[in-house]
Amino acid sequence: MKVWIKLLIGSAIGIAIAYFLPADNQNVLSALIWLEKLALGIGRYAVIPILVFSLTIAIYELRQDGQFWPTVFRNFLVIAGASAFVIVLGILVTMIFTPSRIPILIEEQYEIISLHTAQNILDLFPSNMLSVLTSEGIYLFPVCIFAFFLGMGLSYDRNYTKPILSLTDSLSRVFYHVSSFFSEILGFIIIILACYWAVRFRAVLQADVFRDLITLLTVFSIILSFGIFPLFLYFLKPKVNPWKVLYGSLSPAVTAFFSGDINFTLPVLLRHAKENFGIRRRSNSVSLALFNTFCRGGSAMVAAIAFIVIITSYSSLEITTLDVLSIAVRAFGISFLLARHPGDGAYIALAILCQGYGKNFEAGYLILKPLAFYLIAVGTFLDVIICAIGSYVIAHISGFRDEKKASHFI
């Protein structure tokens, strides 16, 4: 059975189970929270090993071909372009189709949320470089830095590094198959995630104050993912079938939406990029590592949309052109700084936007706290769609892709 079919069936089962569960029972919610942590832990189980060894070999091979820095440059061009495009478009759509006001009911205590950028930079170079391999698998950028230096070091002298190269290549393939196993059982894991998601979604719908915002995010995300993004693929030479690319991205997209965690989705992306898109490891690993770390434009866009709704709910003042530009620029900058927040990127970005804007909007993000899981789900969904299409584009224009038939997709 295709992986995406397993995921859709599992999601449907989870949503059906949620229909029979009481949304206000604390024991049920506690059990679902525990099960969600277990499910996310299982999904992230092999992330660090496969990332370290695959990225190390990819960097070594690209260096040998003299393609490493050109590949990195192309990735950053696509990341910056995609992030800027979706954020600006999302803000413009929200200004045209502004959702109705949301009642200001803040019951939670305001707390200062920070991206801890300075500390994140310090964490890139711990006193013991091997310590990054024992991390919790949340902040993966230090792991990428470790793989970068290891891959560079393997280029030193083939006489000395050949045994390490063979070992690293073997471990990369071994952990790829370990990760593939978890992809195969993801249909069972997604039941838990979909169930907990549906329980919260039902409670939000009953509150009946977020319907306009939910509708806007849902409709715009669908049009963006399945209408606007495919148009860009038509400009690629030689020609590609954009619907084939979207079809190959279904499994990561479903996983991202119900998990809301981009690190949880990373192993699924790695496998589908290889087996559906035919992207070679040297391009696949580097692109996905860079997109996973820096390309959170979807989450930033969702945060920008939500922030505009908060402003219109707080105040009757008109949002000026200068305000729009300020929101767009700040959201764009934040999209590059969410690497430590793989599972709550959109909500953290919203909090940072509120706190940075000032004018008594610092606690505005608390208005949408009941909807935080949905903002995160949509933001991560868009992040993964951009990641899948972006890595495909990079491999296509760099010649690091082998054509695969749709009938052979996993």
Of residues 287 and 105, the one with the higher pLDDT is 287
Three-state secondary-structure class, residue 280: coil
Q: Which of 94-98, 187-191, 333-337 has the lowest mean pLDDT?
A: 94-98
Q: Would you state the pLDDT for residue 262?
A: 94
3-state helix, strand, coil in the chain (%, to 5): 75, 0, 25
Q: Would you state the pLDDT for residue 110?
A: 66
Helix (H) or strand (E) run with residue 211 in it? helix 211-223
- Cβ neighbours of residue 391 closer than 8 Å, sequence gap 6 or more: 269, 273, 277, 279, 283, 284, 287, 288, 291
- The per-residue pLDDT for range 356-373, each reduced to its tens digit, is 876 677 778 888 888 999
Of residues 315 and 69, the one with the higher pLDDT is 69
- The per-residue pLDDT for range 158-186, each reduced to its tens digit, is 777 888 888 998 999 999 988 888 888 88
Residue 75 in contact with residue 58, Cβ under 8 Å? no
Of residues 236 and 348, the one with the higher pLDDT is 348
Label residue 116 left, alpha or beta by phi (over 0 means left) and psi (-120 to 50 means alpha). left
- The whole-number average pLDDT for the span 8-30 is 88
Q: Which of 2-6, 299-303, 404-408 has the highest mean pLDDT?
A: 299-303
State the pLDDT confidence band at 399, using cuts at 50, 70 and 90.
Answer: confident
State the pLDDT confidence band at 108, using cuts at 50, 70 and 90.
Answer: low
- The whole-number average pLDDT for the span 141-166 is 86
Q: Would you state the pLDDT for residue 79?
A: 95
Q: Would you state the pLDDT for residue 291?
A: 94
Select from 267, 236, 263, 231 the least CA-distant residue to 246: 231
Q: Would you state the pLDDT for residue 105?
A: 62
Residue 194 has pLDDT above 90, yes or no: yes
* Domains and their CATH numbers in the chain: 3-408 (1.10.3860.10)
DSSP string of 103-139, one letter each residue: -----SPP------HHHHHHHTS-SSGGGGGGS-SS-
State the pLDDT confidence band at 192, using cuts at 50, 70 and 90.
Answer: very high
- Give 153-159 contacts, CB < 8 A, sequence gap 24+: 154/56, 154/60, 155/60, 155/63, 155/64
State the pLDDT confidence band at 127, using cuts at 50, 70 and 90.
Answer: confident
- The whole-number average pLDDT for the span 29-58 is 91
Residue 109 has pLDDT above 70, yes or no: no
Three-state secondary-structure class, residue 327: helix
Q: Which of 52-56, 229-233, 314-318 has the highest mean pLDDT?
A: 52-56
Backbone phi, psi, residue 232, to 5°: -65, -30
- The whole-number average pLDDT for the span 51-76 is 91
Q: pTM of the predicted model, to two decimals?
A: 0.93
Residue 191 has pLDDT above 90, yes or no: yes
Enter the DSSP assignment of 369: G
Distance in angstroms (rounded) separating the CA atoms of residues 378 and 374? 6
Residue 106 has pLDDT above 60, yes or no: no
Mean pLDDT rounded to a whole number for the chain: 89
- The whole-number average pLDDT for the span 293-305 is 94
Q: Is the preceding peptide bond at 238 cis, omega within 30 degrees of 0?
A: yes
Three-state secondary-structure class, residue 360: coil
Q: What angle do CA 268, 273, 278 make, to 5 degrees?
A: 145
Enter the DSSP assignment of 86: H
Q: Would you state the pLDDT for residue 407?
A: 79
- The whole-number average pLDDT for the span 139-148 is 92
Distance in angstroms (rounded) separating the CA atoms of residues 60 and 57? 5
Backbone phi, psi, residue 47, to 5°: -65, -55
